[in-house]
């Protein structure tokens, strides 16, 4: 028998279903891209340690409109979304230092991507997920690890 004979690909990551989840921010940093600065971070989703998606992106506050939104509308939408993010993760409003976010626990929403509905994306606050046209009547599920309430202890300070 040859080395590796019979090997089969085993995917160790779990694809999260559309719904609401409890998550802890494990990494967050400011980066620069073609469209300006953004924050890229990672979350650990309660009860789903090897899940996808687990990376989130937060774009900087817009300086001009996009799509059908003028500048003022785009900025109001961004402000509203960031306020929801700060509230969900109990982060001091206006604290845009991503290192302060690490370890914070909050609720996220996993929904289908608008441009490619075969993939899901993370919304960094609890909302009603966007659904596919054929899935409009399905109830939204909230996923938590009810058997282990200590899975994500509330923001305990590091003592090391």
Instruction: Choose between 35 and 138: higher pLDDT.
Output: 35
Residue 35: predicted pLDDT: 82
- On the 0-12 / 13-18 / 19+ scale of CB atoms within 10 A, 14 is middle
Task: Give the residue-averaged pLDDT of 22-46.
Answer: 94
CA distance 44 to 24: 5
Task: Give the residue-averaged pLDDT of 148-159.
Answer: 43
Residue 25: predicted pLDDT: 96
Residue with tokens 């160790």: 12
Task: Give the residue-averaged pLDDT of 34-47.
Answer: 92
Task: Give the residue-averaged pLDDT of 20-32.
Answer: 95
Helix (H, G, I), strand (E, B) or coil at 109: strand
Residue 155 in contact with residue 89, Cβ under 8 Å?
A: no
Instruction: Choose between 117 and 101: higher pLDDT.
Output: 101
Residue 62 has pLDDT above 70, yes or no: yes
Task: Give the residue-averaged pLDDT of 137-152.
Answer: 51
Residue 12: predicted pLDDT: 67
- On the 0-12 / 13-18 / 19+ scale of CB atoms within 10 A, 109 is buried
Residue 108: predicted pLDDT: 93
Cis ω before 53 (30° cut-off from 0): yes
Confidence of residue 122 (pLDDT cuts 50, 70, 90): confident
Confidence of residue 6 (pLDDT cuts 50, 70, 90): confident
Q: What is the pTM of this model?
A: 0.72
């Amino acid at each position: 028998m040859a080395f590796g004979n019979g090997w089969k690909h085993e995917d160790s990551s779990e694809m999260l279903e559309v719904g609401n989840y409890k998550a802890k921010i494990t990494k967050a940093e400011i980066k620069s891209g073609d469209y300006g600065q953004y924050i890229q971070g990672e979350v650990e989703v309660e009860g789903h340690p090897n899940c996808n998606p687990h990376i989130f992106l937060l774009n900087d506050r817009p300086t001009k409109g996009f799509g059908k939104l003028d500048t003022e509308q785009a900025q109001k939408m961004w402000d509203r979304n960031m306020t929801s993010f700060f509230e969900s993760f109990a982060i001091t409003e206006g604290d845009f230092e991503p290192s302060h976010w690490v370890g914070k626990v909050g609720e996220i929403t996993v929904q289908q991507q608008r441009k490619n509905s075969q993939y899901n994306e993370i919304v960094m606050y609890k909302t009603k997920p966007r659904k596919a046209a054929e899935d409009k009547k399905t109830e939204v599920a909230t996923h938590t690890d009810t058997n282990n309430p200590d899975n994500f202890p509330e923001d305990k300070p590091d003592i090391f």
